[in-house]
A and B are shown apart, each in its own frame.
Chain A
Amino acid sequence: MVYQLLDERGLCQYYQLNDHPGINLRLSVRKDKFAFLDEEKMNTALVSFKNETETHTTLYLPQIHCSSCLYLLENLHRLEPGVIASRIDFTAKKISVVFRQQQISLRQVVELLASLGYEPYISLHDLGQSRPGLSRSMVYQLGVAGFCFGNIMLLCFPEYLGLKVSSDASDKALQTAFRYISFVLALPILFYSSIPFYRSAWGSLRRGLLNIDAPIVLAIWVTFSRSVWEVLSGTGSGYFDSMSGIVFFMLAGRVLQDKTYRQLSFERDYTAYFPMAVSIVAPAADSSRVGVPGPTVKALPDIRSGDTLLIHNGELIPADGILTRGKALIDYSFVTGESAPVAREIGELVYAGGRQTGSSIEVLVVKEVVQSYLTQLWDRQEKPAPAAPLRPSLSETASSASTQTTRLRASAPARSPFALTSSDILSRYFTYVLFTIAALTAVFWAFHDPARIASAVTAVLIVACPCALLLSTTFTNGNLLRILSRNQCYLRNAPTIERIAATTHIVFDKTGTLTDSAKADIFFEGKPLSPEDKNAIAAIASQSLHPHSKALAAFFTGKPEGPVSHFLEIPGKGLEGYFSGHHIRLGSSAFITGNPDSRQAVHIAIDGKYKGVFRYANHYREGIGELVCRLPMPCSVLSGDTDREKQRLKEIFGPDAELLFHQSPADKERYISQLQAAGKQVLFIGDGLNDAGALRQSNVGIALSSDNNTFTPASDVILNERQLWQLPAFIRLCRSGHRIILASFIVSILYNIVGLSFAVRGELSPLVAAILMPASSLSILLLTYSCSGLAGRLLLRKSAKPATPDVSGKRLRSSATAQK
């Protein structure tokens, strides 16, 4: 269908650009799914600019992945005349569309995109405040610093070359002019480019801490004051070049280290998970559903208790409520960690955050969105959740959530923005040593030549600024972040590297982390099935949307042929139907044999005869066993699920690992704080909302995601699930970062000793300073860069699997080409 559309408009270049364009052709979108976009309120939330003729909007398209996408989406105006122009921001995966609202509505634009396979991701988050723009101030500061640094260097060349100033008055005037221009050029460095250092130093000083930026600020000011004094008194040219160079290199390191991943968010809250609007069957006013013309749409924050919501297959339940119509089969795996979907009957409670699978249901809202269980899971940190009578009945796993009302904040002090890193602690010793040397120098000169005290002491402070330490830290961290992100492991910030390196215990979540929730291992017990029987079972199973049926249909690889007649799905029980004259029944034990059995299984009966049973087990990610073997520290597994997988987990993790089941979100959090109380640095890996508390509590929280754009709870690290097997290598890499910083610190101390030997004698000439400063900065820069690059290459290659590591990706692609 997409091909036809493209062919008509002559956009076939799309298929030539890439070998595998269009990897995910989604299932067709429900017809009125985007009806809510016709509403004024939601419309204005998404539109950024509007006048009489045209409207501008920016939409998030997580599916963008290649140049063909770019080509296709930027040619939207050819597919739809109402679109004036469209432009892609590839790294942010966003499309900006300009369209004429007389010809095409926002809803139609969104539907057009969805029909091409690029369904915009519109969440409640978009309805809220606009996000703060990316801070670019540091880049400007870097640009200004670079400009001033280069020009000051140029102006200082005559001094470097030691050109003798003749007694000629014009020469003298020229020299003075050069010095004054350098002075003027140093002002923006001091008052604009250095602002980040002032801010950070002040922030930590106010808390009574001494971080690395404090001695740096001191060095900047001492250098500046001494230079100003020299220039004004005409005694020398000052050290403006060294000062601007330091600031420039340090800012460059900071920019590298603080590089953010624009397409990722580490601070997502529930609003990014919830849809923007839901269909309402009956508003709260007339709860008798008589005479209501049809479903309307309502923005999520406007939902009041008493409204009746219509939830379609695959949609999220946004608020706690009572099921009033239909048969609910709700997948809570993201919220509770239970892998099996939960069946609910009419009159039972359903909780927000679950995803309905199967037919549409109607839910009467009893709690508004902000009060629902899911929202409270998130907000527990800020405000203790009031114990509500509703909540404990969600399931056993959630029952203790209300009891845990207070959080142990004291055990997570490492998260504050002004926390001290190991480089800060090093720099503190450094500062003490520095002050001692400066004092000794002052005392020495006080006895020998008091006139030289000032110049010697300032020279010591200028030379021994810990900028080399800062440079080695920022450049090493920046490069490590880059290496990790190339392996699809995205860290929130640089201190996370240190915390990963310090980890002494790893805790895994089971569902969705060790296991792949999208897949299940199926075992058949019973008499061997004939090919006809298999074909028939696959045909029947493919009629249903239940996850078990879907897994079963996928289990038989061949495409079933022939029609299914008299198909019947009995929710919560099973399926039946006729296929080539045979009566096929699939379903629960109670449905087929009459004996109830709680295990997850699909029993088969053909023409009334019992054939056997398909049992389901979690599918563990490839390479998990190997991963556990290579981990350099003890680990535990927490699961919100039942303990039916205990035996298999024991085999994988060995006898030493602690395995805990039936863990509620609060239990997980408590377990981690217990480990922390025992002095351990805990790294937690999880994926779902049920792990949100544990992710926050742990020293390092790693959220797994299937691709970089799906929703993840707030965490320190976002790791692509296909890269999980590389975790030991990532940890080792972070540890090597520490050693690299130490090594380059030693190198910088060597430079300092050379510089100080000049400085304490009061003989630091601008030439020596001008050679030492860039030489030490550049050599440290090269050292850290090459070392961390080498470490990354060695560690990640060593851990590279001989087998194809990207199996799932390939499979995805080949299936996509088959679809075409």
Chain B
Amino acid sequence: MSVLIILLIASLSVALVFLGLFIWNVRNRQYDDGFSPPQRILFDDPPLITDPEHLHKN
């Protein structure tokens, strides 16, 4: 039955990865603006964001 423990650890670590992703998303302000990204994807010629990281630093 000790295989269950291994499975448990595996499932917990997967869940932890998702928790980490969630925190990263919030920190990265991805939930702040729900309007622009769905619009942006529809533009034929997407704006050239050379380095999107820069914009999130400020």
Contact = CB atoms under 8 A, between A and B. Distances in A.
A86 interface: yes
Interface in A12-70: 13, 48-49, 54, 56, 58, 67, 70
Interface stretch (A138-146, A232-240, A307-315, A788-796): A138-146
A179 to B, nearest CB: 12
Interface string A124-141: 000000000010100110
Interface in B6-46: 8, 11-12, 15-16, 18-19, 22-23, 26-27, 29, 31-36, 39-40, 42-45
A154 B55 CA distance: 40
A91 B15 CA distance: 31
8 contacts: A49-B54, A77-B47, A85-B49, A87-B47, A88-B36, A134-B32, A140-B23, A144-B19
A261 to B, nearest CB: 12
A74 to B, nearest CB: 4
A84 B55 contact: no
Interface residues of B, number: 38
A171 interface: yes
Contacts, number: 96
Nearest first, the 3 A-B pairs at minimum CB distance are A48-B58, A90-B35, A74-B47
Contact of B1 (A84, A86, A171): A171
B57 A90 contact: no
B40 A85 contact: no
A262 interface: yes
Contact of B54 (A89, A98, A154, A171): A98
Contact of A71 (B12, B43, B49): B43
A70 B47 CA distance: 10
B49 to A, nearest CB: 5
Contacts of B49: 85, 87
Interface string A106-121: 0000000000000000
Contacts of A400: none
Contacts of A262: 32
A140 B26 contact: yes
B45 A92 contact: no
Interface in A153-173: 154-155, 170-171
B54 A13 contact: no
Contact of A75 (B2, B47, B55, B57): B47
A533 B37 CA distance: 55
B47 A86 contact: yes
A814 B55 CA distance: 36
B4 A13 contact: no
Contacts of A85: 47-51, 54-55
A74 B40 contact: yes
B26 A136 contact: yes
Nearest to B12: A151
A150 interface: yes
Contact of B48 (A77, A92, A136, A151): A77
A91 B57 contact: no
B39 A92 contact: no
Interface of A: 13, 48-49, 54, 56, 58, 67, 70-71, 74-75, 77, 84-92, 96, 98, 134, 136, 139-140, 143-144, 147, 150-151, 154-155, 170-171, 174, 177-178, 181, 262
A143 B26 contact: yes
Give the dominant DSSP class at B's interface.
helix
Interface of B: 1-2, 4-5, 8, 11-12, 15-16, 18-19, 22-23, 26-27, 29, 31-36, 39-40, 42-45, 47-52, 54-55, 57-58
Contacts of A144: 19
Contacts of B29: 89
Contacts of A13: 43-45
Contacts of B4: 174
A91 B2 contact: no
A92 B33 contact: yes
A787 B13 CA distance: 40
A753 B41 CA distance: 53
A19 B15 CA distance: 45
A49 B33 contact: no
Contact of A90 (B8, B16, B33): B33
A87 B4 CA distance: 48
A87 B16 CA distance: 31
A478 to B, nearest CB: 16
Given A13-B45, A140-B26, A147-B19, A91 B5 contact: no
Given A77-B47, A136-B26, A67 B34 contact: no
B40 to A, nearest CB: 7
Contact of B32 (A48, A67, A89): A89
A136 to B, nearest CB: 6
A181 B16 CA distance: 14
B23 A143 contact: yes
Given A136-B26, A171-B1, A87 B55 contact: yes
Nearest to A48: B58
Contacts of A71: 39, 43
A88 B42 CA distance: 15
Contacts of B5: 174, 177
Given A75-B47, A170-B1, A177-B5, A96 B58 contact: yes
Nearest to B52: A87
Given A85-B50, A143-B19, A177-B5, A67 B57 contact: no
A91 B29 CA distance: 12
B12 A56 contact: no
Nearest to A74: B47
Contacts of B48: 77, 85
A43 B40 CA distance: 30
Given A91-B32, A143-B23, A151-B15, A56 B57 contact: yes
Nearest to A168: B1
A58 B44 contact: no
